[in-house]
Amino acid sequence: MLARQKHREILGETIRAKRKKSGLSQERLAEKASLSTVFISRVERGKESPSVDSLLKIAKALEVKVHDLVRGF
């Protein structure tokens, strides 16, 4: 259980860092990815695990590869 939580936290921190580097708000990222702002917030805080489809949408919206988001695992 703890390993899952740590992975979610690492993923969330990575997404947040990439989002901020891109100059996007959570709202703008959510809009570009066709996801809800609440979902983006929960993912960034490690409270929610995105599906593969959602992870692909987030990566595309950030203009990075999925690999760049999960590299730290």
- Please report the domains of the chain, with CATH numbers, ordered by start residue: 2-70 (1.10.260.40)
7-46 tens-digit pLDDT: 999 999 999 999 999 999 999 999 999 999 999 999 999 9
| pLDDT one-digit tens code per residue, 48-66 | 999 999 999 999 999 999 9
State residue 72's pLDDT score.
72
pTM of the model: 0.92
Q: In sequence order, which residues have a C-beta less than 8 Å from that of residue 17 and are 6 or more positions away?
A: none
**Is residue 1 predicted with pLDDT exceeding 60?**
no
Name the token pair of 55: 């992870």
